[in-house]
Amino acid sequence: MAVDVRTEPTVQPEGASDHIAAAEAAGDLIRVLDHGFVRFTGAMADDLSVVNAARVSFADTREEMSERDGGLIRFLMRERHGTPFEHNSFRFHIKAPIFVAREHMRHRTNSFNEWSARYSKLEPQFYLPAAEDVRTQVGKPGDYTFDPVDPDTAEQTREAQRAVYEGAYRTYEQLLERGIAKEVARNVLPVAIYTQYFWTVNARSMMNFLSLRAAETAQREIRRYAEAVEVFFAREMPITHAAFVANDRRAP
């Protein structure tokens, strides 16, 4: 369910909504959570890039993939010869709650550029978990399990979060109206507010991200983003992706 606490229409950059709609129609955008998405914006990536990066060791290259080349990729993955998987690049546009983005940006060998709340006003969109995603934490640090809560507790949790979001955004707008700098006013906003950023990553780093963030032990919200990213990885580099899965999802 969407949380919308805006007091006036939010002005989108010219053409922004058109780009999102076009990407979704083309199969290049996957919706995630209540307001988020993963949008594939381009790649210089295919399975042949891995093959040629490996075969250059013997002063050899290929113009197209063969079955033997698929075997080479599986060998490289299995034996963890990682650098041939770095000679490619994927670019994504992502919209996610700030707490998800901060987990994502722990992957420091990747490149990120994020929407700056110093320079523009953030939209009043916050992540409100679905009732089935409200959960309780059981166990000790490093060994948690998460269990669903009863429907009344789930709804009370959602309403409590909604009230905080509405109050925080109202205060944010009041501070801006008083002339307080955006970089100061933003301090009152919860980490559930949505941000947007571009992410550029090679296949080796992406597999490291997927091995950690698509795992059952990852937080549920970032896991959904990782699952969306993996759809595009499998589409663009199917042989490499299959080798990754066959290798117990371990990055080379």
Active-site annotation holds for 249: no
pLDDT digits (tens, 9 = 90+) for 113-132: 999 999 999 999 999 999 99
Task: Please give the mean pLDDT across all residues of the chain.
Answer: 91
**Residue 217 · residue 170 · CB < 8 Å:** no
pLDDT of res. 186: 97
CA of residue 170 relative to chain centroid, distance = 28
Residue 215: closest CA among 203, 205, 227, 204? 227
pLDDT digits (tens, 9 = 90+) for 166-202: 999 999 999 999 999 999 999 999 999 999 999 999 9
CA distance 198 to 169: 25
Q: Annotated catalytic residue: which of 170, 213, 249, 250? A: 213
| Whole-structure pTM value | 0.90
CATH number (1.20.1600.10, 3.30.479.30, 3.20.20.80, 3.30.1360.170) of 28-246 reads 3.30.1360.170
pLDDT digits (tens, 9 = 90+) for 209-236: 999 999 999 999 999 999 999 999 999 9
Q: Report phi then psi at 186, rounded to 5.
A: -65, -15
